[in-house]
Structure 1
Amino acid sequence: MTDADNLWVGIGYAVVDGDLKAAFVVDARRYADDAVAREVIKEAGSALRERGQAGQFEFHEVTADEPVPFDLPGWDEYRERVLRG
């Protein structure tokens, strides 16, 4: 479900081996609305801070049918594979 407010992707950067690197993407279009997508961003930031990997987010506007312009795992996959390892 997509509305005009959630046409964006957030790239999550995390500290990996001492360097800040693009690690995952949050595609807001996958969520019911913008507020839910923003909660996912907050959750991701908190999880990274708890592990000492605090990074930053970079946001990009996208169209409703545009492919995600980055070849990165989604937050759920990154959390399961990397953080819970």
Structure 2
Amino acid sequence: MSHAWVWIGHLRTIDGDLVATFAIDERQYSDADAAQAALNAAAAELRRRRIPHELEHVRVRRDSPAEPLPSWAEYRASLPDAPT
């Protein structure tokens, strides 16, 4: 396969704008199922925290440069602990 999927996580600002915040790049996972699991986890976490978001999927060539955005794991680690 010469193409892969990259999901761009866009979060909505207070002003209502969407800002690209993180990327889930299928090429950084062991297989497509692992990438899909990360996508599902990201969507669930953002919903749980009630963070308005959109996830855009983009088909890229496997040899194209990686997105300059943080990975979901990096972005997730930067979030403050959610109130319990």
TM-score interval (norm. to shorter): 0.7 to 0.9
Greater per-residue helix proportion: 1
- C-alpha deviation, 1:54, in angstroms: 3.4
4+ aligned runs moved over 4 Å, structure 1? none
Question: Partner residue of 1:14?
Answer: 11
Answer yes or no: is the 8 Å Cα contact 1:9–1:28 preserved in 2.
yes
CA distance 1:6–1:54, change in 2 (3 Å): farther
Determine whether 1:75 maps to 2:72.
yes
Secondary structure at the aligned position of 1:72 is classed as coil
Q: Distance in 1 between matches of 2:64 and 2:45?
A: 28
Contact 2:2 / 2:62 at 8 angstroms: preserved in 1? Answer: no
Max radius of gyration: which structure? 2
For 1:13, give the aligned amino acid.
H
The aligned counterpart of 1:26 is 24
> Structure 2, unaligned stretches of length 5 or more?
none
Contact 2:5-2:26 at 8 Å conserved across structures: yes
State the TM-score, normalized to the length of structure 2: 0.81
Amino acid across the alignment from 1:81: S
Give the number of aligned pairs: 81
Q: Deviations over 1:7-44 (max 9, x none)?
A: 11100112333533211000101111111101100000
1:7 match: secondary structure: strand
TM-score by length of 1: 0.80
Q: Which amino acid aligns with 1:58?
A: E
Unpaired runs of at least 5, structure 1: none
| Percent of matched pairs sharing the same residue | 32
